[in-house]
Structure 1
Amino acid sequence: MTTPVERTKAVVDARIFLQMLSNAEEVTIRGLVQSVAIGLLKHYPLNVELDASASTLPEVWAHPTAECPRELAACTRVVPLFPTRTDE
């Protein structure tokens, strides 16, 4: 179970990661982006959790309205903690 501290850290770390990506000239370490994304998603809030937060703190959060993007086959899939590498 994800704790509030872990969830908050995931949101903050995701912001920092996106800021780093937005300022990077290029990403040169193969697999880095995927590895960091997996770690961030481990405790990232789900829509149901964002919805509950929006009900409690409407001045901070909005109710999520976006559906799963078509390019993501399964938005509810579990992200493995130790993914296997398929490029070797």
Structure 2
Amino acid sequence: LDWATPAKAPLDQAPLDQAPLDQMEGFYQDLESLLLKIGYLYPHTAASRMAKLRRLLQRAEPNSQELAMLRGVLRQINWAIASDQPSDQSET
């Protein structure tokens, strides 16, 4: 099960600092907007669900690069929704 074991950073690499709070807040706003758009969140329960998601993501302590990757995922999902692309890209 070597593939299931997370890779460890080399010891000579310093850990990257956690992403700044303003970047995290922007990500949370983008995430909440997307989750409302796709129907995962409902306006009357969004605050409590987002609080749980915030706690989960804060435990991960993402750095700026990781947060940029996650924001890229959100942008791509928004683009796919706007483009109305089917989820199955295979030809029939």
**Is the TM-score greater than 0.5?**
no
Structure with more helix by fraction: 2
Larger radius of gyration: 2
TM-score normalised to structure 1 length:
0.28
TM-score, scaled to structure 2: 0.27
Q: Which structure is richer in relative contact order (CA contacts within 8 A, separation 6 or more)?
A: 2
